[in-house]
Structure 1
Amino acid sequence: MNDPGQTPASYWAATAAPLSPGIEGFEGNEQADVVIVGAGFTGLTTGLHLAERGVDVLVIDANEPGWGASGRNNGQVVAALKHEPHEIEEAFGTERGKKLIEAIGQAPDMVFGIIARYGIQCDAKRNGIITAAHSPNALLNLQKRTDVWRSRGAPLSMLPRNEMADRTGTTYYLGGSYDPRGGAINPLAYARGLAGAVLSAGGRLRSDARVTRIVRSGGRHILELAKGTISAGKIIIATNAYTDDLWPGLKKTFIPVRTPQLVSKPLPLGSLATILPSGEIMSDLRKLMFGVRIQPGNRLHLGGGGGTSGADREGSYRNMVRLCCQVFPFLPDMEWEYRWTGFMAMTPDFYPRLFELAPGIAACLGYSGRGIGTATLLGQELAKWASDTTRIDELVLPLSHYRELPYYPFKEILVETAIKYYDARDRLVHALSHGR
């Protein structure tokens, strides 16, 4: 978790507009009705909705807006969690489950709506998302999943193998499913645009503001920082995968998993013409997901393909390149101009967590690879609670029981073991399905 304090030299950073000049480092003593710790998607969208309501809100970050998981991910805006509808209803009850399913399905509308409303320049494209089946069993499961979601009114459609080849530029996949609700953005640019929107709506932002302790005094919450203090009526902790020891045990409620990204140097014109020509973003159903999108300037962008719970490692990138050669064997040798990693917060059941840590203190985290849409949605929900219009137990995401994972001390061993196991399974499935 000891990533350098500067924003990584990613493709996102190279192409995003700079941060708004109105964001200053923290020093001194301030107060606000609501203080949000963490300037990622959750914190920034909560701050934006509160500022739009006229609430006195201050968003702070130990580094700068978008520094953590929000500015390092693949940029997929997805309209679903990682669960089937009946699983969500079983987990949260039929009524609450249906509300959550509907809200998550509308999350991309919310993301692209904010982008349009505030003119955020983040290379936003809503051309849909293709989920690819790499094996007969994956194809069968994908057909069942698509049928279930279609029966619930979701506009998904199956892509037979020939159409899949036309849409993706490869005959590797046996079929796919298309969801027109999704899309893709530059996530760091989105985070920076949200930061500018918070300021324009009347909210405040501070960088270089790491909180070391929270105490209660005189009916207020006091946040202690190295260079001063902040007095708050309510606090929202929105640090997600980069949660530290500020609140005892909070970082032990999920497992941090570092995932890699690769973006090529510009390729010869025409070399990528057949790959996702309609601008969709694609990911497959391997245990170690392989994702592809095309960036401006004829660049190939790969994501997924492995990970670690510790430091960055070369093997994660090599695995992605190997998968790329399997899926697109016709591509020329490529040079990779940008490579970076970032942690995502994985919960055991892949559901996000909403905690009421103490009266007036909430936390929301654990998006498990569904952060852009889900965090944007939950930012709107948290703003309802923080502005005293909705009780926290009435938000669209039900409250979670606060529980530290007993195996957290062994997280690196567990993740490494799981990655090796899933990689072996994926290699076996590939050999059985494709004969090579």
Structure 2
Amino acid sequence: MKDDPRSHGLWAHSAPPSPPTRPLEGDARADVAVIGGGFTGLSAALHLAEGGANVALLEAVEIGFGASGRNVGLVNAGMWVMPDDLPAVLGKVHGARVLELLSAGPGVVFDLVRRHGLACEADHRGTLHCAVGPKGLEELRERERQWQARGAPVRLLDAEETRRRIGTGAYAGALLDERAGTIQPLAYARGLAGAAIRAGATLHTASPVLAAEDDGSSWHLRTPAGSVRAASVIVATDAYTVGVWPGIRAQQVHLPYFNLATAPLSDHLRRSILPGGEGVWDTKEILSSFRMDRAGRLIFGSVGALRGPGRAIHRDWGRRALARLFPQLGDIAFEHAWYGQIGMTQDNVPRFHRLARNVVSFSGYNGRGIAPGTVFGRCLAQLLLGAVREEDLPLPVSDPLAVRGRAAWEAYYEIGSQVAHFTGARF
């Protein structure tokens, strides 16, 4: 991915090739123009094309170049916000809609994978949210109560069962969510792109939108070598927004997140670490996550950017932290290391925007992009196909509001994670 091994790391190494695409050249017309080739844009393009719309997708770099191709690959249900708290943030009607939609989100992802035969290492085996100490266990106990009250298949495991499932005694318990699972995220994005093309959508990469003009009847989107005229526009650029409609980026604080991947483990080690294949993350404020890929590589991640001093600090911390969790690994080395940016909204809840006449957007997934991006992309397709009304969407319409002191917050997260990891797991 643009010759930078720290942008997509293992995922670029192990994903099937992206379907052939080319930059936009000349003038084109479409019913809907989609800006952004990540989960939201690709899902929207696929569902629009399946609904009979003429769709042109414009991606500035490559399919899955942004957060969609860099993340951990945990397909989770819900959001960070506790289920009972969402109605207070979004209102009773929209809170209930979002809970229902995102609870079913992983199922939508895995159904798409099966229906279109996407080669993306999809494992629908659940995830484990692990408790660090009594405070973490109490948080998970409350999450269990709130989700079970809504009929969700989640249950709190005790410390012993957690140890058996993960291979370490570091956690006081874990919340097993059977709705969830893991995928190879870049492979999933590329698979969605191929499915959208087969459905009739036109995808253009290396085609950043430089300008957008509304003539009152259609939008004119200009790229370096061409243009698209479309009646409606979906903006699906989220945390990697540049250029047109910059308010999407301004309302989010970037939280850097990195991943480190080992070489494939031996069969003996694979039987002792995550034998059930679940994805894992913990309750720490500066959280950690880990999972296996199909080749048996252990992928370990946390908050931080692999640049400047952070590159060595986070790698060294990763080795120390893994040695504490899994002493059987010995002096483990990492074959791949990469990082990206998570877009965090101030209340940790996504946004629906009507940015201009016939221009709509969902954004702000707060580290939960796979299932929400997929289902919100489908919602945008349904809206523009006339299958649903705006008032029936899962989120209320809102205006982008810039975060005060955004640059300072982003520096704080990057430097703070370096400080925490420089001292972490040393003693």
Give the TM bin, normalised by the shorter chain.
over 0.9
Other-structure match for 1:307: 304
SS in 1 for 2:264: coil
Q: Distance in 1 between matches of 2:248 and 2:201?
A: 27
Counting only pairs closer than 5 Å after superposition, residues 117-266 of structure 1 correspond to structure 2 as 117-217=115-215, 219-266=217-264
Q: Distance in 2 between matches of 1:9 and 1:77?
A: 18
Distance 1:111 1:324, change over 3 A: same
Aligned-partner residue type, residue 159 of structure 1: L
Residues 410-432 of structure 1: CA distance to partner in whole angstroms, max 9, x if unpaired?
343332355368769x95xx89x
Q: Distance in 2 between matches of 1:125 and 1:51?
A: 27
Counting only pairs closer than 5 Å after superposition, residues 347-358 of structure 1 correspond to structure 2 as 347-358=345-356
SS in 2 for 1:236: strand
SS in 1 for 2:386: coil
Q: Distance in 2 between matches of 1:193 and 1:69?
A: 16
Q: Distance in 2 between matches of 1:6 and 1:228?
A: 27
Post-superposition offset of 1:111: 0.2
Aligned-partner residue type, residue 307 of structure 1: G
SS in 2 for 1:158: strand
Q: Distance in 1 between matches of 2:293 and 2:118?
A: 18
Instruction: Report if aligned partners of 1:69, 1:343 keep a CA contact under 8 Å in 2.
Output: yes
Residues 232-269 of structure 1: CA distance to partner in whole angstroms, max 9, x if unpaired?
11111111121113224332110122211111112333
Counting only pairs closer than 5 Å after superposition, residues 71-110 of structure 1 correspond to structure 2 as 71-110=69-108
Counting only pairs closer than 5 Å after superposition, residues 305-384 of structure 1 correspond to structure 2 as 306-308=303-305, 313-384=311-382
Distance 1:278 1:195, change over 3 A: same
Q: Distance in 2 between matches of 1:67 and 1:271?
A: 33
Aligned-partner residue type, residue 333 of structure 1: D
Post-superposition offset of 1:353: 1.4
Instruction: Report if aligned partners of 1:310, 1:412 keep a CA contact under 8 Å in 2.
Output: no
Instruction: Report if aligned partners of 2:158, 2:172 keep a CA contact under 8 Å in 1.
Output: yes
SS in 2 for 1:195: helix
Instruction: Report if aligned partners of 2:239, 2:248 keep a CA contact under 8 Å in 1.
Output: no
Instruction: Report if aligned partners of 2:306, 2:314 keep a CA contact under 8 Å in 1.
Output: no
Q: Distance in 2 between matches of 1:259 and 1:187?
A: 15
Structure 1 residues not aligned, in runs of 5+: none
Other-structure match for 1:282: 280
Distance 1:383 1:348, change over 3 A: same
Instruction: Report if aligned partners of 2:84, 2:146 keep a CA contact under 8 Å in 1.
Output: no
Other-structure match for 1:11: 10
Instruction: Report if aligned partners of 1:9, 1:340 keep a CA contact under 8 Å in 2.
Output: yes
Distance 1:91 1:201, change over 3 A: same
Instruction: Report if aligned partners of 2:123, 2:183 keep a CA contact under 8 Å in 1.
Output: yes
Greater mean alpha carbon deviation, residues 180-189 or residues 272-281: 272-281
Structure 2 residues not aligned, in runs of 5+: none
Greater mean alpha carbon deviation, residues 309-318 or residues 226-235: 309-318
2:394 to 393, 396, 415: 396
Q: TM-score scaled by structure 1?
A: 0.92
Residues 69-89 of structure 1: CA distance to partner in whole angstroms, max 9, x if unpaired?
101100000011111122101
Give the paired residue count.
Answer: 425
**1:20 is the counterpart of 2:31:** no
Aligned-partner residue type, residue 85 of structure 1: P
Residues 157-211 of structure 1: CA distance to partner in whole angstroms, max 9, x if unpaired?
1111111111111111111110111000001010000001101111111111011
Residues 35-71 of structure 1: CA distance to partner in whole angstroms, max 9, x if unpaired?
0000100000000110000011111101111111101
Residues 216-237 of structure 1: CA distance to partner in whole angstroms, max 9, x if unpaired?
1252111111112111111111
Q: Distance in 2 between matches of 1:391 and 1:356?
A: 13
SS in 1 for 2:301: strand
Q: Distance in 1 between matches of 2:416 and 2:390?
A: 35
Instruction: Report if aligned partners of 2:247, 2:400 keep a CA contact under 8 Å in 1.
Output: no
Q: Distance in 1 between matches of 2:170 and 2:409?
A: 34
Aligned-partner residue type, residue 13 of structure 1: A
Instruction: Report if aligned partners of 1:99, 1:396 keep a CA contact under 8 Å in 2.
Output: yes
Q: Distance in 1 between matches of 2:267 and 2:159?
A: 26
Q: CA RMSD in A?
A: 2.2
Post-superposition offset of 1:116: 0.5
Distance 1:210 1:339, change over 3 A: same
Instruction: Report if aligned partners of 2:305, 2:340 keep a CA contact under 8 Å in 1.
Output: no
Post-superposition offset of 1:93: 1.8
Distance 1:171 1:235, change over 3 A: same
Q: TM-score scaled by structure 2?
A: 0.94
Q: Distance in 2 between matches of 1:353 and 1:316?
A: 32
Aligned-partner residue type, residue 17 of structure 1: P
Greater mean alpha carbon deviation, residues 81-90 or residues 120-129: 81-90
Greater mean alpha carbon deviation, residues 122-131 or residues 85-94: 85-94
Residues 343-401 of structure 1: CA distance to partner in whole angstroms, max 9, x if unpaired?
12111111111111111111221111100000001011111222233333431122233
Instruction: Report if aligned partners of 1:245, 1:251 keep a CA contact under 8 Å in 2.
Output: no
Instruction: Report if aligned partners of 1:131, 1:178 keep a CA contact under 8 Å in 2.
Output: yes
Distance 1:40 1:5, change over 3 A: farther
Other-structure match for 1:33: 31
Q: Distance in 2 between matches of 1:322 and 1:245?
A: 41
Post-superposition offset of 1:147: 1.6
Q: Distance in 2 between matches of 1:322 and 1:195?
A: 38
Other-structure match for 1:386: 384
SS in 1 for 2:271: coil
Post-superposition offset of 1:329: 2.4
Q: Distance in 1 between matches of 2:414 and 2:335?
A: 27
